[in-house]
Amino acid sequence: MRFAITILLGAALLANPLASPAAAQTGGNAIPTTTLSLGTATPGGGFPLYGNAFAEAMNAADPQITIAPRNTKGSNENIPLLEKGELDLALVAGEPAYEAFAGIGRAPVRLKILTAIYSNPGMFVVRADSPYKTIRDLVGQPVAFGAKGSGLPILARYVLDGLGLKQDEDFKAIYLDRAGDGPAMVEDGRVAALWGAGIGWPGFAAVASSASGARFIAPSADEITRIRAKHAFLKPLTVPAGSYPKQAE
């Protein structure tokens, strides 16, 4: 089974180029170092996982730079923290970045994109024994749409809007304090589904490795056409089956 889904591009945004100068020692000589704060998101989500690995690799590669990851509420908090100079770097999901640079609902930001880091295929995950097979099946059901400050609910809003659905009206929308709280809510039935994004996303992996296993619900080919007709900045992405263990066929 292959899932054709929309993608979300994560971007690292830069506010202040230098912060917290210090010094390291090598061969008895002091080497000037710079510490940069890196905003991620709430524990249990993809940004802390990626951010910690990124910092570890960069710190090992260049002794003159120390990247210090910092848990935040996610993209929607990272952008204003960058603007205020309270973060030097941050991971920001594509949809919040798109809105911020386009000035949608706010003044356009004056930040710099360093790089796109990875594509985020958005989809729902349900228990393998769940009766829900399509997005329409989830209408009226409790659904966890991600952490309150993350970009995941914004991606979901665009996807659902393209299908003529309203996130907070057509679903019993639940927004989490921590991204890591979602998988247990699927497992014990508090929610019918968890919305998430990304191959290897920790929430998907946790549900897939649970005792109940997982099934993924993504937009169909016809639904993708409808979504992109309204929101052309979203791009299709196909994810191969077997991306997660114990996935229902």
Whether CATH 3.40.190.10 fits 9-118: yes
Distance CA 247, CA 245 (A): 6
pLDDT of amino acid 30 = 66
Distance CA 213, CA 209 (A): 6
CB-based burial of residue 17 (10 Å sphere; 0-12 exposed, 13-18 middle, 19+ buried)?
exposed
What DSSP string runs through 142-208?
EEEEEETTSSHHHHHHHHHHHTT--TTTSSEEEEESSGGGHHHHHHTTS-SEEEEESTT-HHHHHHH
Q: Is it true that 9-118 and 119-239 share their CATH fold?
A: yes
Its CATH architecture, for the domain 119-239, is 3-Layer(aba) Sandwich (3.40)
pLDDT of amino acid 244 = 62
Contact 39, 90 (CB under 8 A): yes
Distance CA 40, CA 12 (A): 10
Distance CA 235, CA 157 (A): 15
| Full pLDDT tens readout for the chain, 249 residues | 222 222 223 344 544 434 455 555 555 566 678 999 999 999 988 899 999 999 999 999 998 999 999 999 999 999 999 999 899 999 999 889 889 999 999 999 988 888 888 888 899 999 999 999 999 999 999 999 999 989 899 999 999 999 999 999 999 999 999 999 999 999 999 999 999 998 889 999 999 999 999 999 999 999 999 999 999 989 888 877 666 655 554
Distance CA 159, CA 164 (A): 9
For the chain, domain boundaries: 9-118, 119-239
